[in-house]
Amino acid sequence: MPPKKKNQNADEELGLMRAARFGRVKNTLTMGFVGLPNGSSKFVVGKSTLTNLLAGAAHAEAANYVRQNMPFCTIDPNIVQCIVPDKNFNYLVDVWKPPSVVPAALKVTDIAGLIKGASEGAGLGNAFLSHIAAVDGIYHLVRAFVDNEVVHVDDSVDPIRDLETIQGELCAKDAAGLQAVYDREMEKTRKEKGLSRQSTNFKLSESFTEAYDKCKKLVESNTPIQTGEFSAAEVDHIRDWGMITTKPQIYVINLSQKSFIRKGNKWLPKIAEWVKTHGGGTIIPVSCEFEQKYFDLKDDPEGQKAFLKQCKEEALAAGLKGPQAEIKSMVPRLIRSGRQALCLQSFYTAGPKEVRAWTIMKGCLAPQAAGVIHSDFERGFIKAEVCNIEDFKAYHNGEASMAKVKEAGKYRQEGKAYVMQEGDIVVFMHNTTTAKKK
C-alpha cells in the first residue's frame, strides 16, 4: 500500500507541473473558487463560505503573530489573503522569538457563480470569465450533499452534472478562443507572406498547427488543455493564447457533515471516476457545515476539542478505526494544495529582528530568490549562504544561531546556478554600488 500512495502523489505532482508550464512566472499568484451559484440555508454553503473560512483561518493564524501588524484580512469583498500553515516557519519563530514575524500567504478569489450558457454570455457570463482569466489556478467546487433547506440552481443534487456544466462552460469558452487564435494566426501569416485577405492557399507553422489541433481535440472532449501532452514549442504557443483550461485545477467536494465524518458518500467514487476520465487531478473532500461549526468555536479551545471528540465518536460508531476516525479541518490542506498547484514554495530569512517566509516559484535560482527580497540583491548577487530547515532542526542544539550547524558542516555556500529548495534558510551576499557620475 505505501508504494501505491507514493505513485499517486507522484502522479499528482506531475499533473501540477504540467499545468505550471502554461502559467505566469510570478511569485504572487492567485487561486480562485469556481462553482455553481448557491442557495441559502442555516449553513451557508459553497464558494463564499469557504473563501470566508480561509480568511477566518488567516485571522486565527495571524493571532499567533501579534508582534507583526499585517493586513491578513479581506482585500476586497471577494479576495482574501490566507496565511500558509507552516510548521517549519513556526519552529523558527519559536527559536528566535523576533519582534517582527512575516509568514507566507496565498491570495484566493471568490469568483461569481457560473450557470449553463455562461460561455455565451448567460448569467454574469463575460464578467465571470474575465474574473477566472485573472486567477492562476482554480478550486473547482462541487456540491455533493442533499439538504431540502439548500436550494440547488438546477433543483436537484447531481455532482457529475455540475462537473459537466462547469467544465463544459470553461471548455466552450476555450473552443471559441481557439477559433479567434486561429483567425489571428491566419491573418498574421498572410501579412508576413504579402497575401490578400481572401487567400487561404498557405500553411501555418507545424508547431502552431500541432498545438492548435491538440487543444481543439481536448476541449471538444470536455477535457482541460493543461492535461495534454505538448512539446516545448507547442507550449510556447499555447502560453500566449490565454486559455482558461490551462490553469491547474483542484476539485473540492462539499459534503454534509455526516458524510465528511464517515469519510465518504455515494457520489465520491463517481466523482473520482469522472475526474480520472477528464485528465485527472487532486480531489479534496470538505464539509462547509463542519468547517463553519468548528470555526465558530475558535474563541473556545475546549469547545473545539469537545466538538472534534464528538465527531470522532460518530466516526467510531460508523465503523472507522485508527487514523480514519480522526476528524480535522481541511482548511490548511486547501491552502497548501492551492500553493502546490501554483508551484510555489518558501525560503526563510531568520534572525533576532525578524523571521520571514518568502514565496518563490519552484525551480527558482538563488539570484532570482534574492531579487524577491530586493532587486539590488539580484543585481549584485555574489553568493548564498544556505542551511536547510531539517538540518537546522537537527544541529542547532536549541540555540538561535547557526554556530552548531556550521560545526556540523551543514551550512554551505551556493552560487548563481543553485536551485532553491523548499525550507532553505538563506543569507544572501551581494555587492551593489551606485554608478559614478560622469
pLDDT in tens, 340-349: 999 999 999 9
- Look up cell 455515494; give the residue: 266
Percent of the chain exceeding pLDDT 70 equals 80
Q: Hey, is 80 helix, strand or coil? A: strand
Average pLDDT over residues 351-367: 94
Q: Has residue 24 got a pLDDT over 90?
A: no
Phi then psi for residue 209, to 5 deg, are: -60, -40
CA distance 312 to 261: 8
Q: What is the pLDDT of residue 35?
A: 82
DSSP conformation letters of 335-353: HHHHHHHTTEEEEEEE-SS
Per residue in 240-283, pLDDT (tens digit) is 998 999 999 999 999 999 999 999 899 999 999 999 998 888 99
Q: Give the residue among 55, 1, 193, 88 at the shortest CA–CA distance from 423.
A: 88
Average pLDDT over residues 204-224: 94
Q: How many CA atoms lie within 13 A of 155 on its CB side?
A: 0
Q: Are 331 and 54 in contact (CB under 8 A)?
A: yes
Q: Has residue 70 got a pLDDT over 90?
A: no
Q: What is the pLDDT of residue 373?
A: 94
Question: Who's near 270: CB < 8 A, 6+ residues apart?
Answer: 159, 160
Choice among 65-79, 210-224, 387-401 with the minimum mean pLDDT: 65-79
Q: Give the residue among 335, 285, 287 at the shortest CA–CA distance from 311.
A: 287
Residue 304 one-letter amino acid: Q
Choice among 108-112, 139-143, 233-237, 364-368 with the minimum mean pLDDT: 108-112
Q: What is the pLDDT of residue 18?
A: 57
138-147, 225-234, 403-412: which has the highest mean pLDDT? 403-412
Q: What is the pLDDT of residue 148?
A: 56
CA distance 230 to 235: 6
Q: What is the pLDDT of residue 31?
A: 92
CA distance 366 to 382: 10
Per residue in 303-340, pLDDT (tens digit) is 999 999 999 999 999 999 999 999 999 999 999 999 99
